[in-house]
Amino acid sequence: MENKSEAGSAGKTIFDAIAQNDLSEFKNILAQHKGGVDFFDENGMTALQHAAYKGNKDMVQLLLDRGADVNSGKHEYNYTALHFGALSGSSEVCKLLLDAGAKPTTTNSVGRTAAQMAAFVGNHHTVATINNYVPHSDVSYFTNIQGQQTEPYLPAFLADPLHKFVLGVNVHPVRLALNLQHTPSLLENAEKVSKVLELMCKKEMTRGSETNEVMAFKYHYLSYIVREISNIRDKQKPASDKDEKKHDIVEIFSKKLLKPGKDGVSLDLMDSFLKDCVREFPFRECTTFHQMVTSLTSKNPPSALSVINCTINGQRGFVDAIPYCSTCGEEKPAKKCSKCKSVQYCDRECQRLHWFVHKKACNRESSAPAVSTNAKANIDANELSSELQNLIAG
């Protein structure tokens, strides 16, 4: 069913409402209109495509809820809703479209996929979101009983949290540890989770022409991190049964990884931990593995973290001018150290985890002459909590 843009009140069309980001008018128009919502404008663009291009996730969601066809459209250059979402730079919109069945491999009239268009306009996070996308069925497949099994590899209640975990674009190990900590069900079932990730890795490598080496490596990598965190937890268990230790796993893990080497800057322990992970990748014949090894063994090699990030997320990795959280590598963190303002963090938790490293530099920076009148120049770890109180928005 096709509708011209007649649906509307007081002369305003759904396309006007989208163009003006007028959500309440948009809802009014949808409420008045019974039936299909694949409205076309005069250029063959659907309402969903317009909403995607605007990066308006509420409108996109409402249209999808009403059954809008995610792969519909008669745009003269064959752009899909996902192409428009990719151009908008809204990763959330792209995720909604992908969940609704948008095909990431569809190309426009110049042969470009949505991710390629996003890369073309510099929307790197969106590129990574699309390239890291995994259909829910790839995870829930393992909740089915296979062959002789009496129970599935993955209990059904873990399908959603594990799906969310594998969609993550930030592959910094500390971020992954924090994500796991925030999802206790995954952590409690770490053994099963890491096993399923290994199986997903194998599955990606045995898809024939659809083989996805990069995704296979990502699953291997995630499995490796989950196993490490679970090992730390197991070592912790006998020591005490006090509940207040809930931060310890991530803290131990990040202390290990973020500890600077002899030069005070390079993260030697993180590097060797991640190199071991690459070394353990079971598919050593594949191009992706060879590229990583070549890059890690080159003269002046990049850090293992940036090699892994480049492999999984494309050519860019914690390198350009965008600010990153000093703890977990999250882009454009919201907060900065209130004292020296020279490092940025997602939140207090990230600042807390990094304080054992940043403490010295912070004192040095903030005891420089210009700010030496500050009586708190010698802040120490005991004062950390009050320091944290002062965290300001960036």
- Interface with Zn ion (CB under 5 A): 325, 327-328, 330, 337, 339-340, 346, 350, 362
- Kindly tell me which of 199 and 334 has the beta carbon lying closer to Zn ion: 334
CA distance 281 to 285: 10
In the complex, the smallest distance separating the C-beta of residue 21 from Zn ion, rounded to whole angstroms, is 30
In the complex, the smallest distance separating the C-beta of residue 253 from Zn ion, rounded to whole angstroms, is 14
CA distance 200 to 215: 9
Please, which residues have CB within 8 angstroms of residue 10's CB and are 6 or more apart in sequence?
none
**Are 330 and 172 a contacting pair, CB within 8 Å?**
yes
In the complex, the smallest distance separating the C-beta of residue 212 from Zn ion, rounded to whole angstroms, is 28
Name the strand (E) or helix (H) holding 164.
helix 159-167
- Kindly tell me which of 60 and 337 has the beta carbon lying closer to Zn ion: 337
In the complex, the smallest distance separating the C-beta of residue 55 from Zn ion, rounded to whole angstroms, is 24
CA distance 314 to 128: 7
In the complex, the smallest distance separating the C-beta of residue 252 from Zn ion, rounded to whole angstroms, is 17
- Kindly tell me which of 209 and 382 has the beta carbon lying closer to Zn ion: 382
- Kindly tell me which of 226 and 350 has the beta carbon lying closer to Zn ion: 350
CA distance 30 to 22: 12
- Kindly tell me which of 131 and 170 has the beta carbon lying closer to Zn ion: 170
Q: Tokens standing for 87?
A: 């151009």
Burial of 370 (0-12, 13-18, 19+ CB in 10 A): exposed
In the complex, the smallest distance separating the C-beta of residue 362 from Zn ion, rounded to whole angstroms, is 3
Please, which residues have CB within 8 angstroms of residue 92's CB and are 6 or more apart in sequence?
57
- Kindly tell me which of 81 and 346 has the beta carbon lying closer to Zn ion: 346
